[in-house]
Structure 1
Amino acid sequence: MTDLSSAHGLAHRMAELARASAAPRSVANVLSDVTATARELIPGTDTAGILLVGRGGKYESLAGTSEVPHQLDELQMRFNEGPCVQAAVDDLLVRTDDFRKEDRWPSYAPACVAVGVLSGLSVKLYTAERTAGALNLFSFTPNAFDTDDETIAAILAAHAAAAILASRHGEQLESALSTRDRIGQAKGIIMERYGVDDVRAFEMLKQISQDSNTRLADVAQRVIDTRNS
């Protein structure tokens, strides 16, 4: 059970985490801070990690504070069952007080016990349309988590989700800027080569894209490649 008597101390630690999440750091570092903070703020947590599940069963096991979360993620994806997958895809929160008595996951629960994990807490991450995720906390003792721990885990999961979404937004923005630059270069080449203006050069690129059923950015890259070849 987490001692919430020091509300100021808890709020201060959350504020530190929020500032760290907002700084220009890699998403991997932010997620590692989240799982490390889970161990710090939720005493029952012996190890923690983050599972992302994409379409087609592709998954990423991230920010584990030990190898155990990665091992358990792999087992869940192999068995297609378990609390982390369930929280990532369906439920908002999944808590297991004792895997020795757990019958929801007949293959996964015994595997947890075999590696010494007896209880767990998984909280959904709101990531993106094509990817589901969960923050996963594990304990080597039974009945390690309570409702206060669920609340703190939900806040930490929100930090993790924000970091993932911010990272993807940055990647999309970088991709969009790269595409814009390529199209601009291609237009300049066409204008110089064929003596047309900016508007006509862009229309030519669009026409080739439509006729060949090829992405406009790819057509632009091909034009750039003809200049460099």
Structure 2
Amino acid sequence: MSSIDSSAGEGLSAVLGSVARSLQAEPNVDTTIAAIVKAAVDHVAGADYAGISLVEHGRIRTVAPTDEVVVTIDEVQYRTKQGPCVNAIAEHQVFRTGDLAAEARWPKFTPAAAATGMRSMLAYRLFVSENTLGSLNLYSRSVEAFSDQTEQAGRIFASHAAIALIGAQTEARLNIALGHRDVIGMAKGILMQRHGIDAVEAFRLLIESSQATNIKLHQVAEWFVEHHRELSPRGSKS
């Protein structure tokens, strides 16, 4: 098993290149996240467990933890608003602790975290430009598990992970948008056939229906497509 540690240079570049390609090949957000945390444990020296904290609608949640202890520790961080991942997300920085049992920066968090048997943590804020995604969190049962060199090399890994994640999220949004466009096109076709109108007039009817019902356009279109047979005159095959 390869590790990101003091063996920088060509070896590190080769490992990172391989990891980056494998992450970019993942087909969707969920599998990309799962691949990121697995690769972190496989390739970041000292990491026993990993997880990602994502910020959604002002709330933080843990996704794809490699062990239930990750969820336990993260929940304490979220509840107390203290800990490496909370600070990493809020302050654009990397946060590392080598002995949770002796850590004084997070007095509400560290006693509960140390009680799980975890000793070292390393949290990287994941972002592309200024768009915050959350943090990549690494955990170890060993004291001082993460060195300065590991931390610096891990930054590169976290950058690759962030790029892969934003790419997967963008692709997911595009797929949703394409799906919306297709169903709107189908609904327009139904209206054009039923009422003998052109595409512009059909689209106007969909927009008016959306505004009148306060329902999103693609949802109105989905309703038309789903119910068009029921709405057709009796005996019609349209």
- TM-score with structure 1 setting the length: 0.86
Change (3 A) 1:206 1:128: farther
* Residue 214 of structure 1: how far off its partner (Å): 2.6
Q: Which amino acid aligns with 2:13?
A: A
User: 2 CA distance for matches of 1:101 and 1:93?
Assistant: 19
Q: Which amino acid aligns with 1:180?
A: R
* Residue 123 of structure 1: how far off its partner (Å): 0.5
User: 2 CA distance for matches of 1:105 and 1:6?
Assistant: 32
**Cα deviations by residue, 1:48-106 (Å, 9 ceiling, x for unpaired):** 222212224241332x3333222211221222221112212333211112222222222
The farther-off stretch of 17-26 and 192-201 is: 17-26
**Cα deviations by residue, 1:175-217 (Å, 9 ceiling, x for unpaired):** 1111111111111111111111111111222222233333211
Change (3 A) 1:129 1:148: closer
Do 2:85 and 2:123's aligned partners in 1 also have CA atoms closer than 8 Å? Answer: yes
User: 2 CA distance for matches of 1:57 and 1:164?
Assistant: 19
CA RMSD after TM alignment: 2.5
* Structure 2 counterpart of 1:133: 134
Given the alignment, which residue of 12, 33, 38 partners 1:10? 12
User: 2 CA distance for matches of 1:95 and 1:49?
Assistant: 15
Gap runs ≥5 in structure 1:
none
User: 2 CA distance for matches of 1:25 and 1:213?
Assistant: 34
Change (3 A) 1:6 1:155: closer
Same amino acid, percent of matched pairs: 37
Change (3 A) 1:35 1:207: closer
User: 2 CA distance for matches of 1:48 and 1:225?
Assistant: 43
Gap runs ≥5 in structure 2:
231-238
Equivalent residues in 2 for 1:58-207, closer than 5 Å? 58-62=60-64, 64-126=65-127, 132-207=133-208
Do 2:6 and 2:150's aligned partners in 1 also have CA atoms closer than 8 Å? Answer: no
User: 2 CA distance for matches of 1:224 and 1:65?
Assistant: 42
Aligned residue pair count: 228
Do 1:54 and 1:131's aligned partners in 2 also have CA atoms closer than 8 Å? Answer: no
* Residue 127 of structure 1: how far off its partner (Å): 6.4
User: 2 CA distance for matches of 1:24 and 1:171?
Assistant: 12
User: 2 CA distance for matches of 1:153 and 1:134?
Assistant: 13
Do 2:28 and 2:169's aligned partners in 1 also have CA atoms closer than 8 Å? Answer: no
User: 1 CA distance for matches of 2:119 and 2:67?
Assistant: 16
Change (3 A) 1:55 1:103: farther
Q: Which amino acid aligns with 2:54?
A: L
Do 1:122 and 1:135's aligned partners in 2 also have CA atoms closer than 8 Å? Answer: yes
* Residue 116 of structure 1: how far off its partner (Å): 1.3
User: 2 CA distance for matches of 1:109 and 1:189?
Assistant: 61
User: 2 CA distance for matches of 1:212 and 1:5?
Assistant: 62
Q: Which amino acid aligns with 2:167?
A: A
